[in-house]
Amino acid sequence: MKGFAMLKIGEVGWIEKEKATCGPMDAICRPLAISPCTSDVHTVWEGAVGERHNMILGHEGIAEVVEVGELVKDFKPGDKVIVPAITPDWNSLEAQGGYAMHSHGILQGWKFSNTKDGLFSDFFHVNDADGNLAHLPKGMDLKLAPMLSDMVPTGFHGAELADIQYGDNVLVIGIGPVGLMAVAGANMKGAAHIYAVGTRPKCTEAAKFYGATELINYKEGSISEQALALTKGVGVDKVIIAGGTVDTFSEAIKALRPGGKIGNVNYLGSGDTIEIPRLEWGVGMGHKSINGGLMPGGRLRMERLSRLVSIGKLDLAPLVTHTFEGFDHIEEALYLMKDKPKDLIKPVVLI
Ligand code: NDP
Ligand code: ZN
């Protein structure tokens, strides 16, 4: 089978590989629509999780099941499914402890395009099919559905990690597709003011659509100073980080009021340490907490989030700015994600 792969750090290309075999609890699927992710960019061009050789990329998409193992109960060949980016081993102790995304080791629930071949392929393998696949709801737009694999669950997880409560003033740093879904998630959880940080016009327009009340341009001054000015010096109740670098944390701490919480879903591709400003962290006693997390993945989350889309509470249309038809366009779509032209939020390739 053919796939578009990370050949080594900094290099991508088409490769041929053996089709994976299907274990008793697994499924083999063929993609119907796929989308590249900024995480693929960190992995390939920053080498953020280390060297990978000839690993097929991609972890966002919808697919058709072509084969299932003999123990799979709820899926059969021909079923159309949403594939979560994170596919934990649900019988692991970590999953029983509530951290399925770290099943069998930190971040090990993130398999596609990290520790095994991903979706940019003729066929791909899914572990624990009953626990990880979700039936694609009837009538769902095939072009928009791939946003449910990673963008929606990750952005919404940012809102969970920041523990958004009714009436919170929330700062969302980064309004690419992940940050936009963090804005939407914070809005649904009852945030009052949502201060959205970003510059690309397509993104700022979409941020307003999803519930941002004010915009902050990080290129025109410090984020924390602008957030403090907007909150009359009090600081925000919560911060969701979905963009920026290791240096963004000091801005988040400075913008936060005592007792506030930070939820980070940003993938820190480079830098060795995160700086926490001593004074603004209350010299260690400010009750400003930091939570960072990989999105949980799995079937239940996919089904619950897709319900929001099916009933019209979450409109994914603003996220998909570029659509391609044909497998061969995967490379072009990935480079769009790397180069981030001004009019891009997210590309999708229909196969
Ligand atoms: P994008 O690159 O599309 O968006 C990044 C956003 O951050 C943009 O709004 C950008 O602004 C803004 N930004 C860039 N630099 C700064 C800065 N110095 N200070 C403040 N804001 C800044 O990324 P995505 O939305 O696709 O992904 C966001 C992150 O989430 C990535 O790191 C990705 O790898 C990660 N991720 C994490 C997952 C998880 O499970 N935790 C899953 C999926 C993705 P501008 O408008 O100027 O471009
Ligand atoms: Zn992703």
If one counts the domains in the chain, the total is 2
Q: Given this model, what pLDDT does residue 269 score?
A: 85
Residue type, 220: E
Residue type, 2: K
Give the H or E element holding residue 124. strand 124-126
Residue 255 sits in the same domain as residue 338: no
Residue 143 sits in the same domain as residue 184: no
The reply to whether ligand 1 has any atom less than 6 angstroms from the CB of 281 is: no
ipTM tops 0.90: yes
The set of residues, in sequence order, having a beta carbon less than 8 Å from that of 121 and lying 6+ positions away, is 1, 2, 3, 4, 17, 31, 56, 58
pLDDT under 50: residue ranges of the chain:
none
Q: Given this model, what pLDDT does residue 48 score?
A: 87
Residue-wise pLDDT for 200-236, tens only, equals 999 999 999 999 999 999 999 999 999 999 999 999 9
What tokens does 252 get?
């988040």
Q: Which stretches of the chain are DSSP H helices? A: 38-45, 93-96, 129-132, 151-161, 177-188, 201-210, 223-230, 248-255, 299-310, 330-339
Residue 144 sits in the same domain as residue 13: yes
Residue 131 sits in the same domain as residue 165: no
The reply to whether ligand 1 has any atom less than 6 angstroms from the CB of 169 is: no
Q: Given this model, what pLDDT does residue 265 score?
A: 98
Residue 56 sits in the same domain as residue 88: yes
Q: What separation in Å is there between the alpha carbon of 39 and the centre of ligand 2?
A: 5
CA separation for the pair 3, 229 (Å, rounded): 50
Domain CATH code at residue 69: 3.90.180.10
Residue numbers of the domain that contains 320: 2-150+295-350
Sign of CA dihedral 40, 41, 47, 49: negative
Residue-wise pLDDT for 161-191, tens only, equals 999 999 999 999 999 999 999 999 999 999 9
Residue 278 sits in the same domain as residue 212: yes
- Choose which residue among 35, 37, 38 to substitute to test ligand 1 binding: the one with the highest number of ligand atoms within 8 A of its C-beta: 38
Residue-by-residue DSSP string for 305-347:
HHHHHHTTSS--GGGEEEEEESGGGHHHHHHHHHH--TT-SEE
Q: Given this model, what pLDDT does residue 114 score?
A: 95
Q: Which of 84, 70, 60 is nearest to 27 (CA)?
A: 70
